[in-house]
Amino acid sequence: MSAATSFTLQVNGRTQSVTVAPETPLLYALRNDLGLVAAKYGCGAEQCGACAVLVNGDKAFSCTLTVAEAAGKAITTLEGLGTPEAPHPLQKAFEAEQAVQCGYCTSGIIVAAKALLDANPDPDLPAIRLALQDHLCRCGTHSRVFRAIRRAAREMKTGEMRP
């Protein structure tokens, strides 16, 4: 490990400092230094999607993205999408469709769905499958997840569930 260095991270619209080795995975800084624990450690090798966050609007695997690489970029975690009082339409739709079982994969999937809907507000099922192809759910929630994303897309289109 290299010597600890101070980095400035823009997370969920806030500027935060962490002092870590440059090669520290962003996931560790989010969870251990900033207390943002929605993103999870699954595989550590870009194979499961549990750690996904948005970086400058694009999905990124925070298990392999280093703090040095993430510094200065706009990072969004699940905590930045909505609050219990004002959830994001995706969060509402996942609840409405009961698309969560243990929840370990859910943060990464919702973040990936956010990136998808930002790029394509009306995705069909193949587009949703493609966007989630590197997200594993061992609880088997996939069909409910697909329904929830379609539901959020519909409701964001009509504006009914906008936070």
Which residues sit at the interface with ligand FES, rule CB under 6 A?
Answer: 41-44, 46-51, 61, 63, 100-106, 137-139, 141
Q: Between 3 and 114, whose beta carbon lies closer to ligand FES?
A: 114
Q: Considering the complex, what minimum distance in angstroms separates the CB of residue 26 from ligand FES?
A: 10
- Rounded Cα–Cα distance for residues 99 and 144 (Å): 5
CA 30 vs CA 4, 76, 77, 96, 139: distances in Å? 16, 10, 9, 28, 25
**Measured CA angle at 90 (ends 157, 126), to 5 deg:** 75
Q: Between 35 and 140, whose beta carbon lies closer to ligand FES?
A: 140
Q: Considering the complex, what minimum distance in angstroms separates the CB of residue 61 from ligand FES?
A: 4
Q: Between 44 and 82, whose beta carbon lies closer to ligand FES?
A: 44
Q: Considering the complex, what minimum distance in angstroms separates the CB of residue 33 from ligand FES?
A: 17
Q: Considering the complex, what minimum distance in angstroms separates the CB of residue 159 from ligand FES?
A: 29
Residue bearing tokens 């989010």: 30
Q: Between 17 and 32, whose beta carbon lies closer to ligand FES?
A: 32
Copy the structure tokens of residue 2: 């290299």
Copy the structure tokens of residue 111: 């973040």
Q: Considering the complex, what minimum distance in angstroms separates the CB of residue 4 from ligand FES?
A: 23
Rounded to 10 degrees, the C-alpha dihedral 99/101/102/103 comes to 0
- Rounded Cα–Cα distance for residues 55 and 29 (Å): 14
Q: Between 104 and 159, whose beta carbon lies closer to ligand FES?
A: 104
